[in-house]
Amino acid sequence: MFKIVQKYRNYHEIAGELAEVIGDARDLLDIGIGTGLIVEYLLDIEPAYNITGLETKICCTVLGG
């Protein structure tokens, strides 16, 4: 099975800054979504976001479901 090993990053802070930039938009496209951690935090901040994620790396596609 795969194991995700992440270096420490303050994803919550990054998501907060992104939410400020996004403003009133609700339909978002995340190109290179990876494991989707930023998206999870964004949805915690604003559940009304409609986020579509694209990933080309097979390892992230398998891990991200």
Q: What are the pLDDT digits (tens) for 1-60?
A: 445 555 657 888 899 999 999 999 999 999 988 888 999 999 999 999 999 999 887 766
* The pTM of the whole model exceeds 0.85: no
From residue 46, alpha-carbon distances to 8, 26, 31, 32, 60 in Å are: 23, 9, 19, 20, 24
Q: Phi and psi (nearest 5°) for 30? A: -105, 105
